[in-house]
Structure formats: C-alpha cells, structure tokens
Structure 1
Amino acid sequence: MADKEVAQLEKMKIIGLFRKEGFTGEYDSFQRVSGTDREFFVVMSNEQGIKALFRASLMLNAVEFQYVQDDKHTFVTEDADAS
C-alpha cells in the first residue's frame, strides 16, 4: 500500500457509491481501512448533526453502515494512535 492519504479521485468514487445508494449528508472524514487500498471508513453527518461511521468498498461497490457516533463511539485519528 503506497500512501495512507485518501486521494481526491478515491473520495469522488466513494461519494458516488454513497449517492448511488441514496445517502445524503455532509462527508466529514475519509480514512483508509488498515491493510487495504480499496476500502475506507467514512464519517457522515446529517442535517441534525448526527454523525455515523460507514465502511465503503470500491472493490465490492458497496457501502455498509457501522454505527452512530456518540461519546462511546468516536472516530480515531492517526494523531491519537501516535503515543
């Protein structure tokens, strides 16, 4: 896997998957799933500001809901992992 940063072209493909599935909202963040270069975690928020984590696969052309983010479920960034 070359680069951990999600490229703009990959983001456009991921957004296309979400739109194809009928999802609407704001895309808050994109993160590559560890060990793969074709699967991503995406945090989206709706009009009410509720955030949810999804797993998007460019290999399977699929979007899978993971969970709604709250105090117990947060999106871990690489900065938090560096100790």
Structure 2
Amino acid sequence: MQIIALFRKSGYKGEYEDFQHVSGTDRDFFVVMSNEQGIKALFRASLMLNAVEFQYVLDDKHVFVENGAEEA
C-alpha cells in the first residue's frame, strides 16, 4: 500500500499491472502501470527516497521480464 500511496502522492494515475523488488534491496520496486489507453510503462519506486522515477514505455523493444521468466 505504501507504493500506491507514493504513486498517488506523485500524481500518477492508472492500473497497477505488476510489482517486483529491485535486486539487492527491499525498499525499491519496479512497477508496471497502464493508463486508460492501455499504454504500459515501467517505473522505479523507492520507499527509502520517497520517489517515483519513470523508466520507459513498454513496447516491442522494451519488455518487462518477471522473476524466473526467460526470454525466448
């Protein structure tokens, strides 16, 4: 819930598709969000820094690989 509150505080709106811990920390997460048009984007949320950073839009060149999943 802290992550969602951080996004709302930063003014982001949308559907939360996926959450994943950043390797080596328990206070940073990668978050995939989609907007009303179905465009998905990757964000990095830091509970330690109380900040959300946009990473990139997910498309054919940029994908989000879940833990344990391998690309074909």
* TM-score grouping bracket, smaller chain normalisation: over 0.9
Deviation at 1:77, TM superposition (A): 1.0
Match of 2:53 in 1: 64
Q: Which has the higher contact order (CA 8 A, sep 6+)?
A: 2
Pairing of 1:42-61 with structure 2 (within 5 A): 42-61=31-50
Could you state the TM-score of these two structures normalised by the residue count of structure 1?
0.82
For the aligned residue pairs, the C-alpha RMSD in angstroms reads 0.7
| Greater than 2 Å deviation, 4+ residue runs | none
Match status 1:17 vs 2:11: no
- Structure having the higher strand fraction is 2
What percent of counterpart residues are identical?
A: 79
**TM-score of the two chains, using structure 2 as the length reference:** 0.94
Give unmatched runs, 5+ long, in structure 1.
Answer: 1-11
